Amino acid sequence: MFGAGAAIRAMAMLAMVAVLAVGGWYVMNLKADLAISQENSRRLQEGIQEQQALMKQMSEDIAKIQDINRELGDQARRYQSEVDSLSRKFSQDARGQPRDFGAFAKEKPDLVEKLVNRGTKNAMRCLEIASGAPRTEQELAAKTASEINKECPTIANPNYRAPQ
């Protein structure tokens, strides 16, 4: 019925339709893959931005921690200086000469009792402030040597400046 030429043409047409169908299917798959790749790329960029923000925040936090550590170190050195000063009060006189506090207490027990009681009261106040208690108006306003807490002037009286 159909000649050989018609069969070849039909086969060629069928082959062209098949090639076009496969090509269309391939292009559609490429478009779908491209859409997935674009979404993955967008998510990756968001992840990178989040990581950069986190790294920036961590750097800021590290800087704050270092500042706080420096402040704590300075404060610890000041407190150690206060402890050393308090310790010297029992082993040295006002001129820095060695003294025997026990012998002094034996000679003048009433005076030593008064001095120890005042020193103990002042030292307890130093511990209160170092533990977080607020300073009083009187402690903040102290500017002369007679107004300060002599056991820890740098802690109790931050506005007092010792004469140089």
pLDDT tens by residue, 81-104: 878 877 777 788 778 788 888 888
**Distance from C-alpha of 147 to C-alpha of 161, rounded to nearest angstrom:** 12
Whether residues 84 and 149 share a domain: the answer is yes
pLDDT at 162: 77
Whether residues 75 and 16 share a domain: the answer is no
Whether 58 maps to a domain, the answer reads: no
Whether 48 maps to a domain, the answer reads: no
Whether residues 93 and 35 share a domain: the answer is no
Whether residues 89 and 161 share a domain: the answer is yes
**Distance from C-alpha of 14 to C-alpha of 8, rounded to nearest angstrom:** 10
pLDDT at 97: 84
Task: Using a cut of 0.85, tell me whether the model's pTM lies above it.
Answer: no
Whether 64 maps to a domain, the answer reads: no
- Please determine, for residue 1, whether its predicted confidence score (pLDDT) is greater than 60: no
Whether residues 31 and 89 share a domain: the answer is no
Contacts of residue 101, Cβ cutoff 8 Å, sequence gap at least 6: 90, 91
Whether 89 maps to a domain, the answer reads: yes
Whether residues 94 and 32 share a domain: the answer is no
Whether residues 79 and 21 share a domain: the answer is no
Whether 74 maps to a domain, the answer reads: yes
99-122 residue pLDDT tens: 888 888 899 999 989 988 998 999
| CA 9, 15, 16, 18 torsion-angle sign | positive
**Distance from C-alpha of 150 to C-alpha of 36, rounded to nearest angstrom:** 75
Q: How confident is the model at residue 154 (pLDDT cuts 50, 70, 90)?
A: confident
Whether residues 2 and 76 share a domain: the answer is no
Q: How confident is the model at residue 130 (pLDDT cuts 50, 70, 90)?
A: confident
Whether residues 89 and 162 share a domain: the answer is yes
Whether 46 maps to a domain, the answer reads: no
Whether 63 maps to a domain, the answer reads: no
Whether 111 maps to a domain, the answer reads: yes
Domain assignment of residue 87, given as a range: 69-164
Tally of domains within the chain: 2
Whether residues 88 and 35 share a domain: the answer is no
Whether residues 75 and 142 share a domain: the answer is yes
